[in-house]
Amino acid sequence: MEETKTKEQKTSWARLLKNYVNKNEAKHSQNSRDGDEIEIFTELYKKCKGLNGSHKIVPSLYSRVPTEEEPLLMKLREESRALFLQRRSRELLDNNELQKLWFLLDQHHTQPLQADEQMISYDDFLLVREEAGPKCKPFFQPSVFCKLLQNDPYGRISIMKFFNYVMRKIWLHQTRIGLSLYDVAGQGYLRESDLENYILELIPTLPQLNGLERSFYSFYVCTAVRKFFFFLDPLRSGKIRIQDILACSFLDDLLELRDEELSKEMQESNWFSAPSALRVYGQYLNLDKDRNGMLSKEELARYGTGTLTDVFLDRVFQECLTYEGEMDYKTYLDFVLAMENRREPQAQRYLFRILDVQHHGYLNVFSLNFFFRAIQEQMKIHGQEPIKFQDVKDEIFDMVKPKNPLKITLTDLIRSGKGDTVVSILIDLNDFWTYENREFLVPDLSDEV
């Protein structure tokens, strides 16, 4: 009986060992098949990509831009970019194709009308897509339909809104291609000289600028370009991304001058209009008393109401680019843009740099007192009782509510929404007086209304 038991144990061990061996063989076979598949895939991939087994051919992650010392490569790059832009331009819808698209939308609109406006359902939207042709297909995406979908009870979108969307998209692509032609570096941004060339060649196409004399063109171009660079290049890198130019409203304002019937009020509020450019340049000439084409500190002191403090003006000439202590027209334009747009973050960045006397990156009690003392002195000169600095300081910190109760950073100033008020009461007596008497001025204004 004991012998039988021993024999059974041996049989059991033999069975377990056999199962283990078979299992390992199956696993090895599977690994071998996986290895063969990877090897076949690698071989096919290399063949498709034109790679050999030496690993010397590595995909390039960086393409060096040709320098001026490589004229042939530069010319090749320019020609390649020009052909690429031409191809992209041909992919856009022309006037005939736009008319055909409108006809199809009108033909396949879905009843009933909504407030006399033609609507289209998603099924008809897809039907127009098939008939419109391959150029139109990128506009007929489900995501586009969803973006334009509003509160229609039948789940439709407005034909007019969709067509305007297509027109806007085409305009953006056309403008991007037009701007890219001036992108000499081909890196997706424009330098100051590139943008100057673009606007100079754009002037003849803008009817509202027909009255400008050719001798004024250079001053107009400088005036227009400064607004782009002041707001889109606050760090003064000397270049602006084409994408940022398209995203802002400045190009719309500039191209608005194509409208021959643009009202006088619209022109006066448009920085790029002829009246606005002539106004700014005329102010510069009026301030330039010695007619040397530059502004000294004494001449700039007459800017606006003539109540800017001497301390502030000193800091302007310390921080801004000057030539032998005098300011040229380009620097003056930055100054005007900052003063006329104090609510904008870029203007507050410009003025904060002037107020930051100690270059700490924040304003403290010393900085505030440094500028407000000049306001107190001007009040004495005009026979007014000076306001205590402690009161003004407390009010400024209450307005801004900085994270650090002893320091006001640029971020604090912008986030508070009161940056323009803080700056104004520190640099201009007239603005401080207006702020101090705001309770009395508001009722007067409401009475006039």
Q: Is the pLDDT of residue 196 over 60?
A: yes
Q: 347-370: per-residue pLDDT in tens? A: 999 999 999 999 999 999 999 999
**What distance in Å separates the CA atoms of residue 340 and residue 223, rounded to the nearest whole number?**
14
Q: 151-190: per-residue pLDDT in tens? A: 888 889 999 999 999 999 999 999 999 999 898 778 889 9
Using 50, 70 and 90 to split pLDDT, how confident is the model at 446? very low
State what percent of residues in the chain have pLDDT above 70: 87
pLDDT at 179: 92
Q: 284-337: per-residue pLDDT in tens? A: 999 999 999 999 999 999 999 999 999 999 999 999 988 989 999 999 999 999
CA distances from 37 to 28, 34, 268 (A): 14, 5, 72
φ, ψ (nearest 5 deg) of residue 392: -65, -40
Using 50, 70 and 90 to split pLDDT, how confident is the model at 449? very low
Q: 94-103: per-residue pLDDT in tens? A: 899 999 999 9
Q: What is the 3-state secondary structure (H, E, C) of 4-34?
A: HHHHHHHHHHHHHHHHHHHHHHHHHHHHHHH
pLDDT at 24: 61
Q: List helix spans (H) across 233-309.
A: 242-247, 250-255, 264-269, 274-287, 297-300
pTM for this structure?
0.78
pLDDT at 221: 96
Q: 114-145: per-residue pLDDT in tens? A: 888 899 999 999 999 999 888 899 999 999 99
**What distance in Å separates the CA atoms of residue 357 and residue 373, rounded to the nearest whole number?**
14
Task: Residue 85: count other Cβ atoms within 10 Å of its Cβ.
Answer: 16
Q: What is the average per-residue pLDDT within 407-436?
A: 94
* Token reading at 436: 């101090």
Q: 400-413: per-residue pLDDT in tens? A: 999 999 999 999 99
Q: 213-239: per-residue pLDDT in tens? A: 999 999 999 999 999 999 999 888 999
pLDDT at 14: 66
CA distances from 436 to 107, 429, 431 (A): 64, 10, 9
Cα 442–chain centre separation: 36
Using 50, 70 and 90 to split pLDDT, how confident is the model at 26? low
pLDDT at 315: 96
Q: Is the pLDDT of residue 240 over 90?
A: yes
Q: Is the pLDDT of residue 392 over 80?
A: yes
Using 50, 70 and 90 to split pLDDT, how confident is the model at 440? confident
The continuous run of DSSP H or E covering 168 comes out as helix 159-180
The continuous run of DSSP H or E covering 113 comes out as strand 110-114
Using 50, 70 and 90 to split pLDDT, how confident is the model at 281? very high
The residue assigned the tokens 């009461």 is: 425
Q: 31-84: per-residue pLDDT in tens? A: 566 667 787 777 777 777 666 655 555 666 667 778 878 888 888 888 888 898
State what percent of residues in the chain have pLDDT above 90: 60
State the first-to-last Cα distance of the chain, in angstroms, to the nearest integer: 120
